[in-house]
Amino acid sequence: MSEVKDPTKALESTGITRRGFLKTTGAAALGAGAVAMGGLAPMAKAEATDAAATEGETVFHSACRGNCGSKCHMDVVVREGKVVRVAAAQYPEEDARWRRLCVKGYTQPQRVYDPDRLKYPMRRTGERGEGQWERISWDEAIEEIAGKIGPAIKDHGGTSVGVWSSYGSYGVLNGAQAGYMSMAYGRFITSVGATVLGAGADYAQIYEQMLLLGQSGNSFDDAANAKCIVSWGGNPAEAYVHGWQFVCQARENGAKLITIDPQFTASAAHSDMYLPIRPGTDGALMLAMANYIRENGLTDDDFLREKTVAPFLVKDDGTYVRMSNYGVEPTQGPTNPMTGMPTVVDPVVVWDEETGAQSVLANASKPAILGEYTLSDGRVCKTCYQVVLDSISDYTIEKAAEICDLPAEDIEKFARMYAEGPTYVMTFQGFGHHVNSHHNFKNLALITAMTGNFGKPGASICGNTSPFNSSTNSRAYMYGKPGISTTGMYLPKIMEEKKWGKTPCDLQVLWCCNGNMLSCESGRKDLIEAVKKVPFVVCADVNMTDTAQWADIVLPIPHVFETEDFDGGCPTPYLMYHQKAIDPLYECKTDLEIMRLIAEKLGMGKIYGDGMSEGELIDQVLNTEVNKKAGIDYERLSSGEMVRTPLYAGTTVVTPAASTEAGRLKFYIEKPAPRNNFGQEVHDYERLPYYEHANEAYWENPLRDKYPLMGCSQHNKYHVHSQCAYTPVLREIEPEPTLKINASDASDRGIAQGDYVRVYNDRGYAVLKAVVTEGIKPGVVSIPHGFQADQFVEGHTQDLTNIVMNDFCSNSSFYDFLCEVEKYEGGER
């Protein structure tokens, strides 16, 4: 049996001991005790808002959970133990504009009282996926699950238990950010060395832009300062309601809005310029813009020199020339305040134009950004900017016009507006959901660096993206490392090879939580086949989702209003604290409660801190240098105070120094390491801005003879992914899934408005209603996102998507598929 680590020891190594903790947070512990004793403690502050209109009502502070990009703070109004309505929470006066909810927020009470909620644990009775269930008790459920996990670990090692999650909740107690960054799952996974199967969605951006390049965007409200806003493969009007208000404000001040999207979205409708790009080609557009900007003298050379990696000299092996190349030993630098990790200083070498000699960066008066130089050891090196420019010289405006199917003069006009700035790029996933999308984020970084559209008001490389905004002590929920940590979409590979890289992985138990992967991941068909091969599957969710349908045991989780938690990803510049407004309905239990029961059964209950309260555990997670400095702790958050995220304390702008480890904006990756290393080859071009056409949905693909249409989708106004799939009010507005198809493509196929159609490729098919529109580029169709299997006439549109991943970044590729559409003759549902 794998060793179960001693949690007391592990906690000591984080500097958090139970005794020390209680000493310093006595008040918080008392507060938490009051909640635990059943006296739900409403917040004085929230009561002061206009949400509490009637006597006998109590107001609790919570937020919309789930992965809509806004996560609005909410007042939850409770009367006689029932949630009767929600209202937008009050923000501090100066930030009152953040106070808003959308229809999905206002209808949350319908989700709480949704008759289709999972109410009690259930065991499968028929075949997997057949939908036959029997009610069982919690005792039976825990007994059965622990009875599978224990022997699995004993006989097959910790990696034989896999936790598969996505973005259902970022709660530090119950969520699954990055698969293991929560108390419930992190402590268990790292104690037994289990396998983490994480999300693939958004990883082109998360891995390349946030992790490798270290970049994040300015707070959304800073968009109001822009002169040019680019909705680049995004639809802020519907997917980022908080960002959109600032786009409107900027436009009122004369800013121009440009939308680059094959679909004429709500955001496009408000735009000053609309570029209906061919899907998957944005990278080529960016590289051509880079050349145009350079050739037309539109670069900000001072910014390139002073704020970016442009002047760093590059050796033949692709790494920077550093002082260690001249025998100077690297030294230890300051500790990173966000992560607590030590840093190493090995200064880079540049060419000083002023002295005509090489120099340590810090001592150079005027580092050269262009050119090739012979160094003192005879080495001949180019600057990083020169290396990059040489590598992209093929990309002319004419070439991009052809690849992207856009008029050359429009690209030139856009490039000029972009370069002039300040430009706020509101990009999310439109150019992140193809197999090779991750390159786009280097390309975007390049044009950003060239034009200085970064680190100042109105200039941002992306819309504020949430996952890593707040500072959390990951060591509080990690006693070590997971046995394996990879992307869930590698499940078929793992089931086939019974290993990951060199680590054996004979998966016996699969635990699905915080995600609806069999609805929302790409490659659904292959994933279902892989899940079928796992001997024992558990799914913990609020609803009977497409994923839960394939489990052996389903466990009911409470709605967010029934739990206390802290959410580490906060897109508005305020930290998210969820107060428990009502007790969990039915027999629901939080992930943390469930994992505590299982751990106890396995004789490892102490990993959850001997009965520590939720508040105490939250406080451990908040124990970081950054939070201490900002005075952020559980006591303060649970008092109902709206506390600004440290990242945006007193500012809306992210500077290069705050954002990158080099203190400079990067558009080049010195040491590219794949997200999931299984011994694959890493190509040299992973360092460079680069364009690689889509894997399947590219124009020249011979498969287009059979499947001529390129697929994509949208984040729907009436869904948060698959959440809200059955919310009655929302389904009144949008009763069924639809396929958007251009009028010319529809007419070629004899399809009329409202006809039922069959959309298909070699992987799968779905039957659904057609929306015939001019609002989508000919040759492109858009599938719905978030509807569940039983909501289609037949099939599932997610079956059309592809399991193929880019080995470097292993991101999902929802938009990288080809298909054909025909009229469905099988009649209406």
Ligand X SMILES: Nc1nc2c(c(=O)[nH]1)N[C@H]1C(S)=C(S)[C@@H](COP(=O)(O)OP(=O)(O)OC[C@H]3O[C@@H](n4cnc5c(=O)[nH]c(N)nc54)[C@H](O)[C@@H]3O)O[C@H]1N2
Binding positions for ligand X, rule: CB under 6 A: 65-69, 166-169, 171, 174-175, 201-202, 232-235, 238-240, 260-263, 265, 277, 279-280, 282, 428-431, 513-517, 520, 540-543, 545, 557, 591, 712-717, 719-723, 783, 785, 798, 814-815
**Shortest distance (Å) from residue 106 CB to ligand SF4:** 7
Shortest Å distance, C-beta 241 to ligand X: 8
CB-nearer residue toward ligand SF4: 68 or 746: 68
Q: Which of the choices Mo ion, ligand SF4, ligand X, none does residue 71 contact, using the CB cut-off of 5 to 8 A by kind?
A: ligand SF4
At residue 82, φ and ψ (nearest 5 deg) are -120, 140
499-500 and 228-232 strand pairing: unpaired
| Shortest spacing between CB 240 and ligand SF4, in angstroms | 8
What would the x/- binding string for ligand SF4 be over residues 720 to 739, using CB under 6 A?
x-------------------
# residues contacting ligand SF4 (CB under 6 A): 11
Nearer to ligand X, 459 or 710 (CB): 710
291's contact among Mo ion, ligand X, ligand SF4, none, with CB below 5 to 8 A by partner kind, is: none
Determine if 261 is a binding residue for Mo ion (CB under 5 A): no
CB under 5 to 8 A by kind: which of ligand X, ligand SF4, Mo ion, none does 105 bind?
A: ligand SF4
Q: Which does 383 bind (CB under 5 to 8 A by kind): ligand SF4, Mo ion, ligand X, none?
A: none
Q: Which is nearer to ligand X, 429 or 742 (CB)?
A: 429
Under rule CB under 6 A, residue 68 binds ligand SF4: yes
Residue 521 within binding range of Mo ion, rule CB under 5 A:
no
- We find the least distance from the C-beta atom of residue 166 to Mo ion, in angstroms, to be 9
Phi, psi of 225 (to 5 degrees): -90, -5
Question: Binder to Mo ion among 75, 202, 261, 526 (CB under 5 A)?
Answer: 202
Residue 23, judged by CB atoms within 10 A of its CB (0-12, 13-18, 19+), counts as exposed
715 contributes a contact to ligand SF4 by CB under 6 A: no
**Contact criterion met (CB below 8 Å) for 245 and 282:** no
Q: Minimum distance between the CB of residue 774 and ligand X, rounded to whole angstroms?
A: 14
Nearest alpha carbon to residue 535 among 222, 68, 6, 160: 160
Q: Could you tell which of ligand SF4, Mo ion, ligand X, none binds residue 64, using a CB distance below 5 to 8 A set by kind?
A: ligand SF4
Q: Which residue has the tokens 């919690």?
A: 138
**Cβ burial 497-535 (10 Å sphere, 16+ → b, else e):** eeebeeeebebbbbbbbbbbbbbbbbbbbbbbebbeebe
Residue type, 787: F
3-class secondary structure per residue, 213-270: CCCCCCCHHHHHHCCEEEEECCCHHHHCHHHHHHHHHHHHCCCEEEEECCECCHHHHC
Of all residues in the shown chain, the one whose CB is closest to ligand SF4 is 105
Instruction: Find the part of the chain contacting ligand SF4 (CB under 6 A) among 41-49, 67-75, 221-229, 583-591.
Output: 67-75
The span from the CA of 322 to the CA of 503, in Å, is: 35
Q: Please report how close the Cβ of residue 470 comes to ligand SF4 at its closest, in angstroms.
A: 16
Give the separation between CA 605 and CA 707, rounded to whole angstroms. 54
Count of CB atoms within 10 A of residue 33's CB?
13
SS3 of 518-536? HHHCCCHHHHHHHHHHCCE
Taking alpha carbons only, the member of 468, 557, 460 closest to residue 516 is 557
Using the minimum distance from each CB to ligand X, give the nearer residue, 195 or 383: 195
- Residue 644 binds to ligand SF4 (criterion: CB under 6 A): no
Piece in contact with Mo ion (CB under 5 A), picked from 123-131, 196-204, 731-739, 801-809:
196-204
Which H/E stretch holds residue 350? strand 349-352
Other C-beta atoms within 10 Å of 651: how many?
15
Q: Which one of ligand X, ligand SF4, Mo ion, none is in contact with 717 (Cβ closer than 5 to 8 A by kind)?
A: ligand X
Residue 531 Cβ, how far from ligand X at the closest point, in Å?
14
Q: How far apart are CA 375 and CA 315, in angstroms?
A: 11
Q: Which does 397 bind (CB under 5 to 8 A by kind): ligand SF4, ligand X, Mo ion, none?
A: none
Of 157 and 168, CB closest to ligand X? 168
Question: By the 8 A CB rule, do 543 and 573 touch?
Answer: no
**439's tokens:** 């390159």
SS3 440: helix
**70 lies in the binding site for ligand SF4 (CB under 6 A):** yes
542 near ligand SF4 (CB under 6 A)? no
Dihedral sign for Cα atoms in the order 46, 52, 56, 60: negative
Tokens in use for 398? 């004419």
Closer residue to ligand X (CB): 301 or 410: 410
* Choice from 61, 71, 664, 715 touching ligand SF4 (CB under 6 A): 71
Q: Which is nearer to ligand SF4, 442 or 715 (CB)?
A: 715
Name the closest residue to ligand X (Cβ).
Answer: 168
Q: How far is the CB of 545 from ligand X (least distance, A)?
A: 5
Residue 72 interacting partner from ligand X, ligand SF4, Mo ion, none (CB closer than 5 to 8 Å by kind): ligand SF4
- The stretch near Mo ion (CB under 5 A) out of 202-210, 286-294, 319-327, 544-552 is 202-210
Rounded-to-integer distance, Cα 7 and Cα 596, Å: 14
Task: Say which entry of Mo ion, ligand SF4, ligand X, none residue 366 contacts (CB below 5 to 8 A, set by partner kind).
Answer: none
Judge whether 452 and 459 are in contact, CB under 8 Å.
yes
61 vs 578 by CB, closer to ligand X? 578
Q: Where are the extended beta strands (E) located within 492-615? A: 499-500, 503-504, 509-513, 536-541, 553-556, 565-567, 576-578
Judged by beta carbon distances under 5 to 8 A according to partner kind, the member of ligand SF4, Mo ion, ligand X, none in contact with residue 513 is ligand X
For residue 112, what is the enclosing H or E element?
A: helix 108-112
Going by C-beta distance under 8 Å and a sequence separation of 6 or more, which residues neighbour residue 555?
A: 118, 121, 141, 538, 539, 540, 541, 589, 594
**Residue 260 binds which of Mo ion, ligand X, ligand SF4, none (CB < 5-8 A, kind-dependent):** ligand X
- Binding flag, residue 247, ligand SF4 (CB under 6 A): no
Task: Please report, for residues 230, 348, 404, 695, the alpha-carbon distance to residue 700 in angstroms, rounded to integers and kept in the order given.
Answer: 28, 43, 12, 11
Q: Does 101 bind ligand SF4 (CB under 6 A)?
A: yes
Our CB check for ligand SF4 shows the closer of 29 and 542 to be: 542
Cβ distance to Mo ion smaller for residue 665 or 805: 805
CB under 6 A: which stretch of 62-70, 276-284, 495-503, 608-616 binds ligand SF4?
Answer: 62-70
Among 61, 104, 438, 740, binds ligand SF4 (CB under 6 A): 104
Q: Is 622 in the site for ligand SF4 (CB under 6 A)?
A: no
Q: Is 523 left (phi over 0), alpha (psi -120 to 50) or beta?
A: left
Nearer to ligand X, 21 or 232 (CB): 232
**Alpha-carbon span 365 to 515, nearest angstrom:** 52
Q: Does 102 bind ligand SF4 (CB under 6 A)?
A: yes
Q: Which residues pair with 164 in a beta bridge?
A: 197, 512
- 277 binds, options ligand X, Mo ion, ligand SF4, none, Cβ within 5 to 8 A by partner type: ligand X
Rounded alpha-carbon distances, angstroms, from residue 397 to 290, 401, 414:
10, 6, 11
Residue number, nearest CB to Mo ion? 202
Contacts of residue 394, Cβ cutoff 8 Å, sequence gap at least 6: none
d(CA 474, CA 622): 9
Instruction: Enumerate binding residues for ligand SF4 (CB under 6 A).
Output: 64, 68, 70-72, 101-102, 104-105, 241, 720
Instruction: Enumerate binding residues for Mo ion (CB under 5 A).
Output: 201-202
